[in-house]
Structure 1
Amino acid sequence: MSDCLSFTFNDRPVSAQAGQTLTAALMAAGRIVHRTAPDGSGRGPFCGIGACQDCLLEVDGQMSRRGCMTPVRDGMRVRSNDCLPDAAVSAPLSGGEERLAEHVCEVLVVGAGPAGLVAAMELARGGVDVLVVDERHIPGGQYFKQNAVHPEQQDDQARKGRHLIDAMRASGARLWHDTLVWCAHREDGTLVIGGLRDGEAFYIRTQHIIVATGAQETPAPRPGWTLPGVITTGAGQTLLRAYETVSPGRVIIAGNGPLNLQLAAELVDRGADVVAVVESASAPVKRPVLAGQLSMAAPRLALAGMRHLWTLRRAGVPVLWESVVTRIEGSACVERVTVKQAGAEARSIEVDTVCLGDGFVPASELPRLLGCRQDVRGWPVPHPETGRQPDGRTDQTDVSVIGEAGRFGGAFLAQAQGRLCAARLLERFGKMLPPALKRSRQMYRDNARFQALLWKLYQPVGLLPVPEDTTILCRCECVTAGTVRARVAEDGITDLAALKRATRAGMGRCQGRFCQASLMKVLPEPKSEKDFTAPQIPLRPVPVAALARQKPEWQGHVRVSIPSGLGQVVQSASGTAETVDVVVVGGGIVGLFAALFLAEAGKSVVVLERGRAGALASGGNAGSLHAQLMAFDASADTDGPSMPARTLALQRESIRMWEALRGTFDRDLEIKVCGGLVVAETESDMERLRSKVAVEQSLGVDARILDPGELHGIEPNLKAGFLGGAYCSEEGKINPMAATQAVLARARKAGVRVEELTALSAIERDGSQFRVSAGAVSWSARAVVNAAGAYAGEVAELVGRRLPVFGAPLQMIVTEPVAPLVFSLLAHASRHLTLKQAANGSLLIGGGWSAGLDPVHGHPRPLRENLEGNLWVAQRLIPALGAVNVVRSWAAMNIDIDGAPILGESPDVPGFFTAVTANGVTLAPAMGRHVADMVLCRSERPDLEIFSPARFYGDPS
C-alpha cells in the first residue's frame, strides 16, 4: 500500500498517493481546473508530458510550475495559476550559483524510452561513457511507463520495461531523471547541451548526442477542445498507468489509431465508465485482406489489438468506426460531445472526460536546433521530420536520431534502431560490437513493414469539418480560426512566420507545438523546413534565475561576416524589363515605409526582399522607441554632439509620427510613450548620466536627473540601493511584429508590389534609368532605394559605391506574461540592458547583447554566455524576475555603422538613395517619409544632410 500524502489546493485539503504528480492527485480528486488562460477561461491538464503548459500551478509560492511534472510532497501549498501571476510576490524559481556547472560525457542520450534505453545500455556495455537524461521522474518513456505509485503492480508491458531499465542501470550508463534539455550549441568542436534539474541549470559537453525524445500527439482543434476535462489519449494513459488515476466520470476516447483502443480497454479493466471509442478509420473487418497481412506481419501485436476489442465488446463499450467528435461543450468543463458517424445523423453524448488521440509527430526540436536536415511529411499533419538512416545516422556526424524522435514507429522498431545506432558508434569508438546485429536489422525491417500496414489499415475516413471562426487554434494565446483566416486574407500572408507575427499564434509557452499544424492548413503546402518556424532557445520555459550569471561588459557591437545577400545573375529570356517608378531593395520596416509613402504619392513601386518581408531585424527586435542616448554604449562620452546625439531630433520626430500614424492602421500597434529610466549603481555611472542629460537637454530632449528617492516612484519593483538615474519622458515602446505587418499590409493595399524570396542580382545604368535584376526578372526604374539593412553595403557596391555597413547580430529574450512589473523603458547606465513589458504581460529583455551565427545554416542565433549575462543585468535591476520563466530567445541581424542613419542620395549616382539605420523601428516612419520626399524631389530639410552617404567618401561636387 502506498503512503498517503496531503496538500492544499486553493486552501482546501487534497489527499494523494506517494509517487503521484500534482496533476494526477488533483484529477483523482476531481479538481481539474489548474490555471486561467488569457481569455479568462479555466484550463486543465492536456498533454501529460509537460509540453502544452496548460497544467501550470502555483506551488509553495512559486508560480508557473507544471503540475504534470511535479511530484506531490506532503504539506505542499498549491494554488491555481493566474493568467498574469504576480512575480513581485512570488518565490524565486532557482537559487542561482556563481557559475553554471559543466559536465562531460562521450555520448549523451536524450530520452529514456525504449530507443534511448537500449542505445545507452549497449554503448555502456561496450565501454563508452554514456549519460542519459530524461525529463520524467521515472524512465521508460511513454511505452514502458512505470507505475510510480505501486511499482510492484506491473503488467507484462511494464515488466519488460523494468527489465530494460535495470539492464541499462547495470551496464554502467548514468541516468539523470527530472532533467530538462533546454538548449544546444556547438563550441570548440564539441556539443554543449543545456540542462535543468531541480531548478538549477548546467551544461553537458559531449562528443555525440543521441536524440531519443519520442513523439508528441497532434490533437486536432474543434469547438470546446480547450475545456477542462479534455486531455490527450497519451495523457489519459500516463495518468492511469503511471499514477493510478482513472479519468473521472463518463469517458469518451476519440481520434485515430490503436492507442485509443488500448487506453479504452485499460480503463475498462480499472472500472472506468467508458461510454464509447470514436475512431475515424474503417473497421478492420471491412478490409480483411489488409487485416490478414497485418496479423501475419506481427501476430503478437495483432493479437493484442484483438484482445482490446474483445475487452470493449465484453464490457458493452461501442467502437464507432468512421466517426469523429466534432464538438465538445460545457459551461466550465466538459459536459457533452457531438459525434458524427458516416451515413448517420450527428448525436450528442453526455461525458465528463474526453481523450483525444489524432496521431503523433516526432519531437524534433533538438535535431532541428543542431542543424540536421529535415524532410517535410504530410501524415498525420504537415511537419518537419529529421532525415536519418535505420541506424540513426543524420547528416550531422555528431547527432543521431532514433526511435519516434525521427518517425512514429512503435517501441519494437525503436529498440532495434537503438541497438543499430549503438553498434555504429561503438565501431567509431573502436569498441566491440554488440551481438545479434543481424537479428536487430531484421527486427527493424519487420516492424517498419508492420507499421506501414498498421497505419494503412487505420487510414482516417471520417474527417473533421473546417474549424469554425470561434474555434481556438492556438491554445496558449487563445487565437481563433477566424482571426487567423482574416489576417491571411487581409494581409496576403503566405508563410507561417508572418502569420505568427500578425496574430501571436504559436508564440506562447508551448512554442507552437499544438497549433503549428492547424496554422499550416490555411497556408500554401509546405515545401521545405523553412516553411515551418525555427525552434528557439529555450526548448521549454526555463527560470530567469537559473540562467542569470554576471558577464563582462563591452562597448560596441560585434561585427560578423555575413553570407552574400545577392542572387545569381541570370540573363533575361526576353531582354525586356517592366517599368516602374521606384525599386526599393529590402522589405524591412524602413523600406516598407518608403514604399508606402511613395505609393501614396502616386508612384508605382516594387519592393525586392530576399527573404520574407519584415522577417529579419524589423520583426525580430525588442520594440524600443528611443528618444534618448544609450548610456551603456557611452554615446555621450565625447566632446560636443556625437553622431548619435545628432540623431535624437530625428528619433523624436519619428516617435511623434508613430503616435500620429497609429490610428490609421487597422490593428493595435501597442504604442505607448511610457518614459525611459536609466539607473546608476556607482558615482561613475552618475557622472555619465549627468553628462548624457546635459547633452540631451541642450538638444531639447525632456530629460532630467533623478535622486534615489524618485526612482521607486517610477519603478516600484526596482532593487533598492541605486544612487540615482536619468529619466526621459519621451521614450516609448511598440510591438514591432504588429507594426511591421501593419505597414506591409497597408503598403500592399496602396499598390506596392512586394516580391518576396527575390534576391537582387544586379543594378545597371540604362540612360536616365536603372535596370534592376533579380535572376531572370528585371525592372526599369528612375530611382532605387537601398533599404537592405545589413546588406546595404553589398547593394551599394553594385553601383560602384562602398558603404561602411556591417552585420552585427543581436539577441532578444522574452518571458512568460506576468502582472505589471516594469512600467518604463528601463536601462542601466553602464551595463547593457533594455527592459520593458509588452501589452500581453511578457517582459522583453535586450540591450545590444551580441548574437552569433549558426554554424550549420549561418543565420543569427543567441549565444549562451550572452543569454546568461543579459538576464543577470535584468534581474539585478528587478529582483522579482527571479520568479519568472524565459519562454524564448531569438536573434536578428542588426547593423553597425557610425552611430547615425544613412539617409540620402548618392552624390555621384543620381537616383540611387540609401535609407539604412541600426535603430530601424524607432526611425522607420521618419526615414521612410524623408527618403520618399527625396525621391519625389520635395525635400526641404537641410538638417538631414549630416546623414547623407556623402559623409563617408566626400561630395565630388
Structure 2
Amino acid sequence: MGDAIAFRFEGRTLTARPGQSVTAALLAQGVVAHRTARDGTRRGPLCGIGACHECLLEIDGRLSQRGCMTAVRAGMEVRRAGALPDAGAAAPLGNMPDAIGVERCDVLVVGGGPAGIVAARLMAAGGLDVLLVDERHGPGGQYFKQDAVGTRPPDAQARDGRDAIAALKDSGARIWTDTLVWGAFREGVELRVGVLRRGRVGYVIPRHVVIATGAQEAPRPRPGWTLPGVMTTGAAQTMLRAYDSPLPGRIVIAGNGPLNLQLADELAKRGAAVAALVEAAPPPWTRPALAARLTAAGPSLAATGGRHLSRLRVAGVPVLWSSRLVRIEGAGQAQAAIVAGPDGRERRLDAETVCLGDGFVPANELARLLGCRHHVSGWPVPHPEAGRTADGGTDRADVSIIGEAGRFGGAAIAQAQGALCAGRLLALFGKTVPVAAGRAARRRFRQGRRFQDLLWRLYAPVADLPAPADDTILCRCEALSAGGIRQHCARDAVQDIATLKRATRAGMGRCQGRFCQAALAALVPAPTGEMDFAAPQMPLRPIPLAALAVEKPEWRGHRRVDIPSALAGQGAVPLVSAGVQVTDVVVIGGGIVGLFAALFLAQAGRRVVVLERGRPGALASGGNAGSLHAQLMAFDDSAGADGPSLPARTLALQRDSIRMWQSMAPFFDRDLEIRICGGLAVAESEADMARLRAKVAVEQSLGVASRMVDSRELRAIEPALGAGFLGGAHCAEEGKINPMAATLAVMARAREAGVAIRPLTPVTAITRETNGFRIVAGGQAWSAGAVVNAAGAYAGEIAGLVGRRLPVFGAPLQMIVTEPVAPLVGSLLAHASRHLTLKQAANGTLLIGGGWSAGLDAVHRHPRPVRESLEGNLWVARRLIPALGNVHVVRSWAAMNIDIDGAPILGESPDVPGFYNAVTANGVTLAPAMGRGVADMVLGTGRRADLDIFSPLRFQGGSA
C-alpha cells in the first residue's frame, strides 16, 4: 500500500488509501451523508455502482460528481452536494468539442463483468476486432471486482477474476475503462453508440453490439430507507472487497438471497460488528429434500453456503429466518433496524449501517433503447426482461444480450453465455469456432440454470413487506412519498406508469426510475408488456452538457416523418361489440386542445365523449417544454407581400389564450406553475439585430408589448448571458407553464364536468348520418351530432375518414432537461437566428428546446431524439448561457408535433357540416383559446370573425 492521500472535506483534512473511491474514503472516516435532497434531508450512498446518484458530491468545484465512481486524488476539495447548487459559481465540467470522434469495431461489448470478459476474450482471440467498454476503473464487474487498494491477499473469487482479466488483456481485445455508454442511435444501416470517456463524448460504430451490463439491485422501499447509512448489499460488498473500507458501527444485513449471507460472513471475518442477518426465506434445513437436490446440482457452491452459515454461527451472528426488515429509524442517519419475525412480532436492532439485499433486476436500459423485445417478469419485482436465446441472440440482428443484463442468474451462467455468444458471432463473421468449447459452455449453462432454479426455490421468501406507508419515500430522486403519489393516482385516475410520471414527476430524476419503477408499478394495474413501463431516455445516465455540445447548421422548416397509421390493421368493416351509444359531441384526441374543447362543451350542458388512441395527454401535450409564446419565434417570417404572415396574425389568439390561462389558473386543483416571465430573443450580429427590428415592428403593429433592448439592458435582464450579444427583443407578455400539470388539471376539470374520456380507443371509422355522425372506435360505436377533430398529428387521417383532406404532417421535436440548479435564467430565452427556447422550471431544471427535429424510433415508431439535434441544440443553449457548461444533462425526449402552414386550423369543414377541426402546432399556448373557439362554433354562440383566417377554407379547393 502506498502512502496515505490527503484531501479536504468541507474544511477538514482527511486521508484516504491510494485507489479508494471518494465515497469509500468518506465512509472509512465515518462520513455517511453525501448530499442534500430536494426535501432538505441528507442522503448517503445507496447502490455503489453509480446508478442511484445518492452519493453526489461537489469535487474541486465541479457539480454532481458521483463519489462512488471517482477516485481520490491528493489535494482534492470535496463538499456535500446541495439540493440546488449554484451553477454560475461552479467549475466547468469540460470544454465543448469542435467535433466528436468516431471509433469503429467489429463487436462492441458493453460491460466488463464475467459475461463480457469471456465473450470479448474469445472473440478477440478468434480474430475479431473487439472493443470492451466499462464504466468502472477496471474490468471485473460486481462479481470479479478487484482490490483497488492492494491491502489484502485475494480470495478464490478475486483470483478467478484476476486470471480472467489477465486473459482478456492477452487476447488482443481493446479495453476502455472509465467509459460510460450514454445512448445509441440507429442511423440508416449503422448503429452508433454514444460513450463518455474521461470527460469527452465519442461514438462507437460496431457491426454488432453485445450488451453485458449486468444487473442492479432492487431494494424495496421501507420507512427510513433514504437515511444515510442505508445501502445495498452490493454497495457494501464493493466498499469491503474493492476498497477495504469498513462500514460504520453495528451492521444489519436484510433481504433475500445468498449474497446477503456471503456479505455477512465476509464482514464477520474482517471483525465488523454484524448485529444480524435478516432473511425472508425459511432455513434450508426445513426443506431437506430440496436442499439435497441443490447440493447435488452444485456441490461446491452449496458447500460454500454451508461454510458461510457455519462461520456466522461461530462468530455469534444471529440469522433471523422467515423475517423482514420493515423499517429503519434514525435522526439524520440510520440508528436502528426494526425486524418483524415469522410471528409478526417486531424487534429492534441497533444499527448504524443497514444493508438491503432484496434481489436484482437486469440493467436493460440500453437493450430497451435499441428496441430489443422484452416481456414482463415479476421476479423479484415487476420489470421488463429481454427475450433472448441461450447464446444471447435477440430479435435485433445486430444486438446480443448476455449474462445478467437479460436475467439474473449468477456468474457461472453469465460466463457460459459469454462463451456461447462468442461462438455464434465468430461463426457469423466467418471465423473458426472451437466446437468442443461450445459444447462445454452449453453444458455449464444447463447446469447453471438448474442450480439457479433450485437455489431460488430454496430461497423463496415466506415473509413479505407490507404496502408502503403513506410517509414512505418511493421516488428517492424527487423525494415523493407513497401517500402523495397515491393521492395523485386517485385524483387523476392514473392507470399507467407514464401518466403517473407526468402527474407526480416520479421516475424523472437522475436515476430515471431505476429504484422506484417497481414500487410505482404496484400503484397502477399490473404491467402486461414492455410498453407499460417507462421508456428509457438518453442520456442513460447524466453527462456533462458541454461534452455533447457541437455546432450544427441551422435549418428552415420542420422535418416531416411518416407517422404510423392509426388505422393500420383495421378491417374494412370495423367490428362493434355493443350497441350504439348516443352523445351530443365526440371529441377525437385527448390532448390539451381536445380536453379544453370537451370541458367548455360540457360546461354548456352538452354530453361529450373524448376518444383517445393512446393515453390522454401522453403525446404532444404531455411531452412539450411548456413555453407560453406571445411573440413570433425569431426564425418565423414576420411579414409577407400581403401584410403580416399567418404566424403574425396568430399572435392575437396567442395573447388571448395566455390571458385565459392566467384567469383560469386559480380554478384548477393544482399549481400550473404559470409565470409571465417575459421572453428575450438575443442577437449576436447586425443581421440578427435587423431581423429582430423587423420582427418587433410587426409585433408592435399588432399590439404586442415587445421592444428592442441594447446589450446593457440585455445583461440587466439576464446576467448569466454570455459575452458578445449586441442586444435583443424583449416581450413582456411571454411566459411558461408546467404542461404536464396543466394537461392533467384540464382533464380533471373535464371529468368533473361530466366528460367521458376513453383512453386506448382509436377511431377507425366515421360515417355521416341524417342527424350527425356514427363513430366507431375500440370496438364500440357512438352516434353524435357533432365531431371535433383534435387529433394532432393524426388530424389529417381523421379528416380522411369523412372524405376530406387536411394538410397536417407529423414533425417530432426534441426537448432536453438538465439537473436542477439554483435560479440561473429568469426569462424565456430565444436566439435571433438559431433554433432555441431555454427556460428554468420551478424545480430548478433547465428546459432546452426550440424546434430541433427528432425522428422516429426504428422499432416502435415512437418519437426519439436524433444525435445531430441533441448536439446542435445544446451548443446553442451553451452559447447563450456559459454556465450550462457546468451542469449535466439528465434527460432528453421527443414528442410528436405537427407541421402545417404556420397557423392553427380552427373551424367547421364547409362541405361536412358538424365536423369541426381544432389543430395547432402550438397546443399548450393556444389550448384554452382553441378549445373555447371550437366549442363556441359547435354551440353556435359568440361567432368571432377574427377566427375566420384559421378556417380550413384557406386550403386550396376549400377541402377541409
Q: What residue is the counterpart of 1:506 in the other structure?
A: 507
CA gap of 1:895–1:574, structure 2 versus 1, over 3 A, is: closer
**Structure 2 residue matching 1:185: 3-state secondary structure:** strand
Residue pair 1:629, 1:636 contacting (<8 A) in 2 also: no
Instruction: Quote the offset at 1:924 in angstroms.
Output: 0.5
Q: Which residue of 1 aligns with 2:167?
A: 167
How many residue pairs were aligned?
957
The sequence identity of aligned pairs, in percent, is 67
In the TM superposition, residue 228 of structure 1 has moved relative to its aligned partner by 0.3
Letter paired with 2:759: E
Q: Is the 8 A contact 1:668 1:738 kept in 2?
A: yes
Aligned to 2:96: 96
In structure 2, the CA distance between the partners of 1:151 and 1:10, relative to structure 1 (3 Å rule), is same
Read off the aligned partner of 1:839 and give its amino acid letter: A
Partners of 1:174 and 1:745 in 2: how far apart? 56
Amino acid of the residue matched to residue 248 of structure 1? Answer: P
Distance 1:463 1:956 in 2: 63
Is 2:123 the counterpart of 1:123? yes
Q: Deviations over 1:85-138 (max 9, x none)?
A: 111011111123210110111000000000000000000010000000000012
Equivalence for 2:457: 456
Q: Which amino acid aligns with 2:187?
A: E
Does the 8 Å contact 1:473/1:480 carry over to 2?
Answer: yes
Residue 419 of structure 1 aligns with an amino acid whose one-letter code is: A
The 8 Å contact of residues 637 and 688 in structure 1, kept in 2 or not, is answered as no
User: Post-superposition shift, 1:527?
Assistant: 0.6
Contact 1:138/1:148, CA 8 A, preserved across alignment: no
Match for 1:93: what amino acid? Answer: L
Number of the residue aligned with 1:69: 69
CA contact (8 A) 1:222 1:328 kept: yes
| Distance in 2, Cα, partners of 1:604 & 1:562 | 32
Q: Write the mapping of 1:188-337 to structure 2, written as runs, cut at 5 A.
A: 188-337=188-337
1:444 matched to 2:449? The reply is no
1:614 aligns with 2:617: yes
Partner of 1:663 in structure 2? 666
Aligned to 2:699: 696
2:690 counterpart of 1:676: no
Q: 1:415 to 1:653 in 2, by over 3 A?
A: same
- Tell me whether 1:430 sits opposite 2:430 in the alignment: yes
Q: Who is 1:421 aligned against?
A: 421
1:4-15 counterparts in 2 under 5 A? 4-15=4-15
Cα distance in 2 for partners of 1:662, 1:131 equals 55
Deviation at 1:575?
7.4
2:674 & 2:426 partners in 1: Cα distance?
A: 58
Task: Write the distance in 2 (CA, Å) between the matches of 1:480 and 1:139.
Answer: 37
Return the TM-score normalized by structure 1: 0.99
Q: Which moved more, 1:927-936 or 1:839-848?
A: 927-936
Asked if 1:487 is matched to 2:488, the reply is yes
Contact 1:619 1:736 in 2 (8 A): yes
Give the aligned partner of residue 548 of structure 1: 549
Q: Post-superposition shift, 1:572?
A: 4.1
Q: Distance in 2 between matches of 1:860 and 1:344?
A: 49
Please give the alpha-carbon distance, in whole angstroms, between the structure 1 residues aligned to 2:186 and 2:952.
39
Equivalent in the alignment of 1:914? 917
What is the deviation of 1:571? 4.3
**1:757 counterpart = 2:740:** no
Q: Give the superposition deviation at 1:633.
A: 3.3
SS of 2:169's equivalent in the other structure is helix
What is the one-letter code of the residue matched to 1:678? A
Q: Measured at CA, do residues 573 and 747 of structure 1 come closer, stay the same or move farther in structure 2, by a change above 3 Å?
A: closer
Q: CA deviation at 1:422?
A: 0.2
In 1, Cα distance between the equivalents of 2:578 and 2:241? Answer: 70
Counterpart mapping for 1:736-885 below 5 A:
736-885=739-888
Cα offset for 1:576? Answer: 3.6
Match of 1:187 in 2: 187
Instruction: Please list the CA deviations of residues 474-517 of structure 1 after superposition, one character each: whole Å capped at 9, or x if unmatched.
Output: 00000110111111112111010000000000000000000000
Is the contact made by 2:577 and 2:779 (CA closer than 8 Å) also made in structure 1? no
Match of 2:727 in 1: 724
8 Å contact 1:186–1:192 — kept in the other structure? Answer: yes
2:412 aligned with 1:409: no
Distance 2:806 2:942 in 1: 23
Q: Post-superposition shift, 1:3?
A: 2.8
Q: What is the rounded CA distance, in whole Å, between the counterparts of 1:518 and 1:576 in structure 2?
A: 39
Q: CA deviation at 1:956?
A: 9.0
Q: Deviations over 1:912-955 (max 9, x none)?
A: 00000000000001101111111111132111111111111455
Q: Which amino acid aligns with 2:273?
A: D
**Displacement after TM superposition at 1:401 (Å):** 0.1
Q: Deviations over 1:673-704 (max 9, x none)?
A: 00000000000000010000011111111100
Question: How far apart in 1 are the matches of 2:278 and 2:536?
Answer: 34
- Shift in Å at residue 638 of structure 1? 6.2
Q: Deviations over 1:542-588 (max 9, x none)?
A: 11010000000011111111110236245445774100001111111
Residue 597 of structure 1 aligns with which residue? 600
Deviations 1:608-659 (A, max 9, x none): 1111110001000000000000012344576621100100000001001111
Cα root mean square deviation, aligned: 1.2
Letter in 2 for 1:415: Q
Structure 1, residues 204-263: CA drift from partner, whole Å, max 9, x if none?
A: 010000000000000000111000000000000000000011211000000010000100
Instruction: Give the residue type in structure 1 aligned to 2:174.
Output: R
Gap regions ≥5 residues in structure 2: none
Choose which of 894, 898, 902 in structure 2 pairs with 1:895. Answer: 898
**1:633 alignment partner, SS class:** coil
Kindly indicate whether the alpha-carbon contact (under 8 Å) linking 1:572 and 1:778 is maintained by their aligned counterparts in 2. no
- CA separation in 2, counterparts of 1:325 and 1:691? 68
2: CA distance between counterparts of 1:66 and 1:105?
30
Alignment partners' CA distance in 2, 1:805 and 1:698:
30
Give the match for residue 538 of structure 1.
539
Q: What's the CA shift string for 1:183-220, capped at 9, x where partnerless?
A: 01112312100000111100001000000000000000
Partners of 2:88 and 2:130 lie apart in 1 by 42
Contact 1:636 1:688 in 2 (8 A): no
Equivalent pair of 2:952/2:959 in contact (CA under 8 Å) = no
Relative to structure 1, the CA distance from residue 726 to residue 770 in structure 2 (aligned partners, 3 Å threshold; closer, same or farther) is same
Q: Which amino acid aligns with 2:760?
A: L
Aligned to 1:929: 932
Question: Post-superposition shift, 1:311?
Answer: 1.2
CA distance in 1, matches of 2:950, 2:66: 52
What TM-score results when the alignment is normalised by the length of structure 2? Answer: 0.99
**Residue 414 of structure 1, CA deviation:** 0.3
8 A Cα contact 2:952 2:958, kept in partner? no
**Residues 956/73 of structure 1: CA separation in 2 closer, same or farther (3 Å cut):** closer
Q: Secondary structure in 2 aligned to 1:462?
A: coil
Gaps of 5+ in 1: none
Deviations 1:264-293 (A, max 9, x none): 000011110000001111111111111111
Q: Tell me, yes or no, if the aligned pair for 2:59 and 2:65 is still in contact at 8 Å.
A: yes
* Pair 1:528-2:557 in alignment: no
SS at structure 1 position matched to 2:141: coil
Q: Partners in 2 of 1:24 and 1:865 — Cα distance?
A: 39
Q: In structure 2, how many angstroms separate the alpha carbons of the residues matched to 1:877 and 1:782?
A: 52
What is the CA–CA distance in structure 2 between the aligned matches of 1:898 and 1:394, rounded to whole Å? 43
